[in-house]
């Protein structure tokens, strides 16, 4: 009797598809958090560089905009969760458990996006700091090293989709 009451309460507050929405929301929140953190780091270093050598504005703008990509990865996960996972979750044998699994995968994606964007910001800030010394030639090498960190965010998307497929939610 008490169990059915608890089930009713759980149903009233959160149903499986809203749990899946929470998973997608956490993933996008991680992406936005990391992007703003990374751009903040790179742009703060950029202002110090521009005050030294104002001709580097173009390179600073290119490098400071790069951590924005994690937001788009977060959006991809949110759209996949809302469009593909949430309609499918109701037909699962254990919908509430599957909903919690989607939240867990959202946390995994969020950590990947947040940390990779923040650390990409620090790689780019380091590149921006060397722009005046190398007269802008560090740009290409800095982009190459930033791509390594970018790869972790892409792996975050790929592994989230992989895990969703393995759980039969995609």
| Binding footprint of other proteins on the chain (CB under 8 A) | 8-9, 11-19, 21-22, 24-26, 28-30, 32-33, 35-37, 39-41, 43-48, 50-51, 54, 57, 60-61, 64-65, 68, 71, 75, 78-79, 82-83
Select 78 or 157, whichever has its Cβ closest to other proteins. Answer: 78
Select 50 or 138, whichever has its Cβ closest to other proteins. Answer: 50
How many residues can be counted in the chain?
A: 170
CA distances to 65, 130, 135 from 53, in Å: 19, 11, 9
Least Å distance, CB 82 to other proteins, is 5
Least Å distance, CB 169 to other proteins, is 17
Select 85 or 166, whichever has its Cβ closest to other proteins. Answer: 85
The closest of 31, 23, 24, 56 to 120, measured between CA atoms, is 31
Rounded Cα distance between 122 and 111, Å, is: 17
Our CA dihedral for 93, 98, 99, 100, rounded to 10 degrees, sits at 130
Select 29 or 152, whichever has its Cβ closest to other proteins. Answer: 29
């Amino acid at each position: 009797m008490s169990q059915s009451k608890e089930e009713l309460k759980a149903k009233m507050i959160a149903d499986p598809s809203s749990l899946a929405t929470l998973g997608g929301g956490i993933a996008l929140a991680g992406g936005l958090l990391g992007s703003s953190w990374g751009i903040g780091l790179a742009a703060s270093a950029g202002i110090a560089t521009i005050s030294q050598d104002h001709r580097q504005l173009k390179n600073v703008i290119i490098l400071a905009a790069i951590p924005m990509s994690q937001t788009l990865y977060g959006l991809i996960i949110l759209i996949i969760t809302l469009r593909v996972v949430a309609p499918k979750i109701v037909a699962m044998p254990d919908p509430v458990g599957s909903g919690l699994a989607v939240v867990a995968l959202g946390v995994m994606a969020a950590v990947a996006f947040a940390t990779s964007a923040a650390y990409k910001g620090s790689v780019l800030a380091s590149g921006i700091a060397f722009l005046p010394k190398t007269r802008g030639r560090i740009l290409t090498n800095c982009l190459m090293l930033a791509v390594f960190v970018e790869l972790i965010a892409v792996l975050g998307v790929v592994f989230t989709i992989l895990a969703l497929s393995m759980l039969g939610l995609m």
